[in-house]
Structure 1
Amino acid sequence: MTVEHTDGRLAKGERRRRAILDATTRVVERDGVAGVSHRAIAREAGVPPASISYYFTGIDELLVATLLESAELLIADIARMRERTPEDGRAWAKTIAENLAEMINERRARTIAEYELYLLAARRPALRPAARRWIEVGASEINEGRGADEGIVKALFAAIDGLMMQALIADEPPVAADFEPALHFLLQPMSYLREVGEVTG
């Protein structure tokens, strides 16, 4: 078997695996986690049902992979935000507010699906490491990784989750300007940590 043929098979396999993960997200968006089954995902992805078992040992493994994929998208969001945001608390509040508003409005269905998977981790331990992935990576970005107090970081992410849950059930979805005052308040301890890091660094 040639290298080109092997590479082609690997690429085809990765495309099919990706199609299955994308299909899982769409099914959760439309029908909730309860709608996830081998047959439903295969139909949505346009692949034979046996393909699901080939790439994933069971539904839990499929859901873990889907949640990790969502976490990687959030991590990419954080990286893009860092690239365009100066190290200033008020600037960060505006940037995060814009991203949350996009998640609530333009990406609403996907955000609901992600939170449904996130909450499912409370019942299914296999999903918990994946559910914590974006928080762990996000925390490592705070204060450029210098001296971020664990309690403050937990409070910040818990508050953001709360803001998002409130936004998802609001009759009128909030826009960036609605998020910004709360985020400016929540980020004040981060500004303090950054200043301490500059003095002691």
Structure 2
Amino acid sequence: MDADATSSGATPGSPGSPGTPAAPATARSRRFDPDRRARIIDAALDVIAEVGVAGVSHRKVAARADVPLGSMTYHFDDMDQLLRVSFEKFADTIATRYEQWFRQATNADEARAAVVGLIHADLLDSQRELVLTTELYTLAARKPEFRTLTCDWMARSRRALRPFFDEPTTHLLDALIEGLFIHAALDTTPPERARTAEAVRRITSG
């Protein structure tokens, strides 16, 4: 046996011994990967935005997240759970931004302006979010168990409007926002800001 190996306490073929290649950095880092679950969720949303819920698979999401395929079933019981958790994150992100638009408003006029800004300067600015929103709506229409996500999302939206408008008006405004979202996803011509402002004025004038 080599004297140096004997003196160092290393044995041939053991990790760190002469002649034994070190494990690749990527392999070592993947053993400790605390962000893996969150990365899978983000990857799932990216895949949904590209191919729709119907085209999502564990293999596609794992490849996008750069994780072993076995990680999918380790972190999520099935595809429905992955979809639910992913859309929960998406809905929370949009609802939080929604709420921020109205935190700066101090009266009804400023809230009306915030509605228009929310629609045209925020929600309609991202094709990815338009697609994800319509995918969630379609999923909830097909599977009633996903409607808790859309109901919670709408409830948060109406709570943000409630300091400025009465209950029936908040429902109408929320429906306007959601409706324009769908129209933007389906129409080749984006809605005009002036028409949106007029619609908001009419809904809130009473």
Please indicate, yes or no, whether the TM-score normalized by the shorter chain is above 0.5: yes
Q: Is the 8 A contact 1:68 1:133 kept in 2?
A: no
Amino acid at match of 1:160: I
Q: Output the CA distance in 2 between the equivalents of 1:68 and 1:148.
A: 28
Mapped partners of 1:96, 1:155: distance in 2: 12
Residue type at the aligned position of 1:47: V
Q: What is residue 35 of structure 1 aligned with on the other side?
A: 55
1:164 aligns with 2:181: yes
Separation of aligned partners in 1, 2:193 and 2:64 = 33
- Aligned with residue 82 of structure 1, among 91, 99, 102: 102
Query: In the alignment, residue 56 of structure 2 is paired with which amino acid?
Result: V
**CA pair 178-18 structure 1, distance change in 2 beyond 3 A:** farther
Cα deviation, residue 78, structure 1: 2.5
2:110 equivalent in structure 1: 91
Corresponding pairs, count: 175
* Greater CA drift, 124-133 or 38-47: 124-133
Report the Cα offset of residue 140 of structure 1: 2.3
Larger % of helix: which? 1
Q: CA deviation at 1:154?
A: 3.3
| Equivalent residue, structure 2, for 1:192 | none
| Larger RCO: 1 or 2 (CA < 8 Å, sep 6+) | 1
One-letter amino acid matched to 2:171: K
Q: Which runs of 5+ in 2 are unaligned?
A: 1-31
8 Å Cα contact 2:102-2:161 kept in structure 1: no
Q: Following superposition of structure 1 onto structure 2, how do residues 122-133 of structure 1 map, counting pairs within 5 Å?
A: 122-133=141-152
Distance 1:43 1:163, change over 3 A: same
- C-alpha RMSD of the superposition: 2.4
Alignment CA distance shift 1:55-1:186 (3 Å): farther
- Length-normalised TM-score, structure 1: 0.76
Could you tell me whether the CA contact under 8 Å between 1:21 and 1:65 is conserved in 2? yes
Is contact 2:162-2:170 (8 Å) kept? no
Task: Give the structure 1 partner of residue 84 of structure 2.
Answer: 64
* 1:26 CA displacement: 0.9
Q: Evaluate the alpha carbon distance shift between residue 95 and residue 176 of structure 1 in structure 2; reply closer, same or farther with a 3 A threshold.
A: farther
Partner of 2:163: 144
Structure 2 CA distance for aligned equivalents of residues 76 and 140 of structure 1: 12
- Secondary structure of the residue aligned to 1:156 is helix
On the 8 A contact 2:47/2:56 being kept in 1, the answer is yes
Percent of aligned pairs sharing the same letter: 26
Q: CA deviation at 1:33?
A: 0.9
2:147 maps to amino acid: R
Q: Which amino acid aligns with 2:91?
A: A
Deviates more, 1:91-100 or 1:136-145: 136-145
Pick the aligned partner of 2:190 from 169, 173, 183: 173
Asked if structure 1 preserves the Cα contact closer than 8 Å seen for 2:141 and 2:147, the reply is yes
Please tell me whether the aligned partners of residues 60 and 127 of structure 1 are also in contact (alpha carbons under 8 angstroms).
no
3-state SS of the aligned residue for 1:86? coil
Once the two structures are TM-superposed, the CA of residue 42 in structure 1 deviates from its matched residue by 0.5
